[in-house]
Chain A
């Protein structure tokens, strides 16, 4: 079945550092891809999405590009802030419209 693989965390960075969280997927067809963020004690929030190859999703300084050739959707941010500390989930929507999530990557940003 379809699946999503994320890099294991935690990822610990200093404020203003560059962030990359890797995400690769296995799917039949061309699924839509998503990044969600979960702050402590809260539900998931949609961060960005891309629906077809070469689409770039962006929001709040975060970006991810749908790469069909490498089946990847890596999340990047040029300069992280302490407030970005959270758990980040990569997900795909499969052919039956279910969201399949990766295992999540915890990001800790230190001042």
Chain B
């Protein structure tokens, strides 16, 4: 059983399109995250939700909007995609935000052409 799953694994789309990436965790964790990893492997947090409440919102263009329908799911919607959005996006979860480590999904490689 996959602990943190993401769909799709690969996403190729054109500039200006709107796309979504879905994330689900079956660990019973309260906190979920979205990270962006650029071509140089640098990882940066984008958002975090705790029990469906947004608790971390980094300096990210407002074209990016996270949505958490329940505490097991955190989706990422991106409007008006740009070339610079090309990256690998990772979802992660943790039992809570204070203790323990984070469990990462396999990533979604987004390519904007």
Where the two chains meet, the residues of A that have a C-beta atom closer than 8 Å to any C-beta of B are 34, 36, 38, 42-46, 49, 87, 89, 96-99, 101, 103-104, 106
B102 pairs with A46, CB closer than 8 A: yes
A101 pairs with B43, CB closer than 8 A: yes
Within 8 A of A (CB), among B72-113: 90, 92, 97-98, 101-107
Decide if the interface of chain B is mainly helix, strand, loop or mixed: strand
B102 pairs with A99, CB closer than 8 A: yes
A99 pairs with B45, CB closer than 8 A: yes
Where the two chains meet, the residues of B that have a C-beta atom closer than 8 Å to any C-beta of A are 4, 33, 40-45, 48, 55-56, 90, 92, 97-98, 101-107
Known: A46-B101, A103-B40. A98 touches B48 (CB 8 A): yes
Point out the residues of chain B lying under 8 angstroms from A99, CB to CB.
33, 45, 102
Taking the closest CB of chain A, its distance from the CB of B62, in whole angstroms, is 20
New A-B pairs, 9, CB < 8 Å, besides A42-B107, A46-B102, A46-B103? A46-B101, A97-B55, A97-B98, A98-B45, A99-B45, A101-B42, A101-B43, A103-B40, A104-B42
B58 (CB) vs chain A CBs: closest residue: A98
Instruction: Count chain A CB atoms within 10 A of each CB in B55, B98, B102 and give the residue with the most.
Output: B102
B101 pairs with A49, CB closer than 8 A: yes
Point out the residues of chain B lying under 8 angstroms from A36, CB to CB.
101, 104
Taking the closest CB of chain B, its distance from the CB of A104, in whole angstroms, is 5
Taking the closest CB of chain A, its distance from the CB of B43, in whole angstroms, is 4
Point out the residues of chain B lying under 8 angstroms from A106, CB to CB.
41
A89–B37 alpha-carbon span in the complex (Å): 12
27 A/B residue pairs, CB under 8 Å, sorted by A: A34-B101, A36-B104, A38-B41, A42-B106, A43-B90, A43-B92, A43-B104, A44-B43, A44-B90, A44-B92, A44-B104, A45-B104, A46-B101, A46-B102, A87-B41, A89-B43, A97-B55, A97-B97, A98-B45, A98-B48, A101-B42, A101-B43, A101-B44, A103-B40, A103-B41, A103-B42, A104-B42
A34–B105 alpha-carbon span in the complex (Å): 17
B56 (CB) vs chain A CBs: closest residue: A98
